[in-house]
Structure 1
Amino acid sequence: MQIDPSRPEDLSAQIAQAIKDAIVDGTLIVDERLPSEAELSDHFRVSRPTVREALKRLAAQSLIRTQRGATGGAFVNRLSYEDAYDQHITTSTLLLSMNAISFDTACEARYALERACASLSAQRRTADQLATMRAEIFRQSQPGLTDEAFCASDVTFHRALVDGACNPVLSYQLVGAVEAMQPLMNMITFTARDRARIISLHTDIADAIQARDAEAASTGLSDLEYETRRLAADVFAARAKGTRLASAPPRHS
């Protein structure tokens, strides 16, 4: 593990990256104890506070954990998908909110990934995951539900669908789309959204998942994508004209 003191980057950042690289390439393995602060200080020829800052950076990324006591120190952590969710959500939120990617690009990626999950979810979903989807559809139909609560329910519905695939890699990839992109998409489209239409589409998807019909579930998501894109186009067109779309009145059967 080496750093270049002549580089302009912060030395603690360089040290953190060097240790991270050693973890990624297997030089440092899970549960292995890192050298002490004093040993790292000597190795990198920097002060102990600089090493301490580097370790804080790694801990913030859940790459290491610290233990107190005679056998304590800093150890390589076993990073779980759940540990990485928050960072993935934050990154996805920033990408969309700072306009690094367009609404259409985010929408395309989000639904393409979720359709990949749909076929697996139709095969593997648990009774609890299906029950969660049904419960959220019922919640969405309640009179007086606020936009914020509707959006939160929307996210929970799609998380249950994604997690129904029982594939942690897909769940990790989708968490940014569902937990970050979906709320931002809702913020853009909620003024033009017809809740009854969204509920109907959610019901179609849940029915397909219950029937273990992968093709119908994928079609339902495609219909939802079309509705989302149509609403966004209406909102953006209204903004361009300097007008505001009125919210569609909720309809309940």
Structure 2
Amino acid sequence: MAIEYSGITREGLSKQIADAIRDAIVDGRLMVDERLPSETELAERFGVSRPTVREALKRLAAQNLIRTQRGPTGGAFVNRLSWSEAHDALVTTSTLLIGMNEIPIEAAIEARFALEAACVPFAAERRTDDHLAVLRAEAAAQRGDALTDDPLTDEAFCASDVRFHRALVEAADNPVLSFQMAGVIEAMQPLMNMLTYRMRDRTRIADLHAALADALAARDTDAALAALTALGDYTRDLARARRAG
């Protein structure tokens, strides 16, 4: 069993034990579906009580790193994390970090558009008619908003904005990029919308979205990147204006 049992001090024992097991899982020293030693064995090896080990295992279970099974062949096992669970964990972590002001808004904007720009060449090559239909429908809804007497609510416009960019990322058809973008689209982007919605020009955003959709339809990577860059520059301008005001 490749767990580091040494180096445990007397303070915060359960957290230290959880961290030691977590490191073994993350480093690949504990494999998926591998059974951990029993509570009694762990307590002996770490030199702590069983309740302390039990608390450490609860911490790991809360992070979806392990699962427990009852019965003669039961125990604690390294969990097989699903894509949906990993996605939810990433979104939750990103939301908490941004909400606690651990990530400056300028850094979030920079990361968002850098990552999204990485998706554009693949989206231009791999987009389908279904992807284009979503992109154009959202841009049209945002554009039409400026021409009607019954405009979208701020929440509805923000939701449309998120759907547009999610469709762009999905058009890239790369599961790794989609995963990395989950925290950006589901956490960072809503925050940017919340911070700038009172100052933004909806028509300008909708026009840039439409230009981006048209460029992807034409498989024109340069034009798509130009539209995305203009959108990023505008978002940064809004963030600076809000900070100054």
The question of 1:205 aligning with 2:207 is answered no
The question of 1:128 aligning with 2:130 is answered yes
* Aligned position for 1:167: 174
1:234 paired residue among 230, 236, 241: 241
Q: CA deviation at 1:89?
A: 2.4
For residues 102 and 24 of structure 2, the distance between their equivalents in structure 1, rounded to whole angstroms, comes to: 31
The question of 1:4 aligning with 2:7 is answered yes
For residues 169 and 161 of structure 2, the distance between their equivalents in structure 1, rounded to whole angstroms, comes to: 13
Aligned Cα root-mean-square deviation (Å): 2.1
Q: CA deviation at 1:126?
A: 3.6
* Aligned position for 1:83: 85
Partner-residue secondary structure (3-state), 2:157: helix
Partner-residue secondary structure (3-state), 1:66: strand
The question of 1:150 aligning with 2:161 is answered no
2:188 paired residue among 178, 181, 184: 181
* Aligned position for 1:49: 51
Q: Assess if the C-alpha contact under 8 Å between 2:140 and 2:210 holds in 1.
A: no
* Aligned position for 2:113: 111
Q: CA deviation at 1:145?
A: 1.7
The question of 1:38 aligning with 2:40 is answered yes
For residues 239 and 30 of structure 2, the distance between their equivalents in structure 1, rounded to whole angstroms, comes to: 47
For residues 173 and 13 of structure 1, the distance between their equivalents in structure 2, rounded to whole angstroms, comes to: 28
1:68 paired residue among 70, 73, 82: 70
TM-score (norm 2): 0.86
Partner-residue secondary structure (3-state), 2:16: helix
More displaced stretch, 86-95 vs 213-222: 86-95
The superposition leaves residues 187-238 of structure 1 with CA deviations (integer Å, 9 ceiling, x where unpaired) of: 111101121111111111112222222222111110111221222233333x
For 1:171, the aligned partner's letter is S
Q: How many residues align?
A: 237
For 2:152, the aligned partner's letter is L
Partner-residue secondary structure (3-state), 1:85: helix
For residues 50 and 105 of structure 1, the distance between their equivalents in structure 2, rounded to whole angstroms, comes to: 39
Q: CA deviation at 1:51?
A: 1.7
Change (3 A) 1:191 1:84: same
* Aligned position for 2:226: 219
Structure 1 unaligned blocks of 5 or more: 240-253
The question of 1:93 aligning with 2:85 is answered no
TM-score (norm 1): 0.84
Identity of aligned residues (%): 62
* Aligned position for 1:251: none
Q: CA deviation at 1:3?
A: 4.3
Q: Assess if the C-alpha contact under 8 Å between 2:126 and 2:173 holds in 1.
A: yes
Q: CA deviation at 1:58?
A: 1.4
The superposition leaves residues 33-71 of structure 1 with CA deviations (integer Å, 9 ceiling, x where unpaired) of: 222223222322322222222122212222122233333
2:30 paired residue among 28, 31, 43: 28
Change (3 A) 1:14 1:115: same
